[in-house]
């Protein structure tokens, strides 16, 4: 799990057994961006959702194909983040700040989707901040840089 932005971390493929450990580390939600069936050894989204429920984690599934990130993926991902952040802080005031973990096979797609969503968010980070966040987590948004810049310009901030 690598920190990406405040309240957001990224990971490579998680397994069902990882989720209770994440909960113990203070994570409150996971977003699975890996489409079912990419690899024979990959747990399905329904298996991960069951494991998340057992670990008392919120779970969202936003399957993201390789290549260009479709606009509906960015929309669904953004909606998931809003829903997670709107959930009441259950156990403590710090629960609202507990991290959300994004994952796919390597973490790269998750970072690209996050970058596009962050670029689209009113009051979101600047292009430089998004690039630094991605680089700090060990990833690049070079393939999405122009689209990130376009979305930032379109939001007017």
Measured at the CA of 36, the angle between CA 43 and CA 52, to 5 degrees, comes to 45
pLDDT tens digits, residue range 119-139? 999 999 999 999 999 999 999
Question: Is the confidence at residue 93, as pLDDT, over 60?
Answer: no
| The predicted structure's pLDDT at residue 92 | 44
- Phi/psi of residue 89, each to 5°? -70, 115
| The predicted structure's pLDDT at residue 98 | 74
Question: Is the confidence at residue 96, as pLDDT, over 80?
Answer: no
Residue length of the chain: 157
Question: Is the confidence at residue 49, as pLDDT, over 80?
Answer: yes
Please, what is the end-to-end C-alpha distance for the chain in angstroms?
Answer: 30
Q: Report how far apart, in Å, the C-alpha atoms of 77 and of each of 54, 81, 92, 102, 112 are.
A: 23, 6, 26, 10, 11
Domain with 125, as residue range(s), is 2-155
Q: Please tell me the total count of domains within the chain.
A: 1
Enumerate residues 6+ apart whose C-beta is below 8 A from 135: none
Cα gap 41→113, rounded to integer Å? 24
CATH number for the domain harbouring residue 114: 3.90.190.10
Dmax over Cα atoms in the chain, in whole Å? 44
């Amino acid at each position: 799990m690598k920190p990406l932005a405040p309240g957001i971390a990224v990971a490579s493929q998680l397994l069902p057994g990882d989720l209770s450990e994440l909960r113990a580390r203070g994570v409150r939600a996971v977003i699975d961006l890996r489409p079912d069936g990419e690899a024979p050894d990959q747990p399905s989204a329904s298996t991960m959702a069951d494991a998340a429920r057992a670990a008392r984690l919120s779970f969202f599934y936003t399957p993201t194909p390789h290549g260009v990130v479709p606009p509906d993926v960015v929309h669904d991902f953004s909606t998931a983040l809003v829903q997670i952040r709107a959930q009441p802080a259950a156990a403590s005031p710090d629960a609202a700040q507990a991290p959300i973990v994004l994952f796919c096979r390597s973490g790269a797609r998750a970072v690209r989707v996050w970058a596009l969503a962050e670029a689209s968010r009113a009051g979101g980070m600047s292009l430089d901040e998004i690039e630094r966040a991605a680089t700090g987590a060990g990833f690049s948004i070079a393939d999405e840089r122009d689209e990130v810049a376009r979305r930032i310009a379109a939001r007017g901030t």
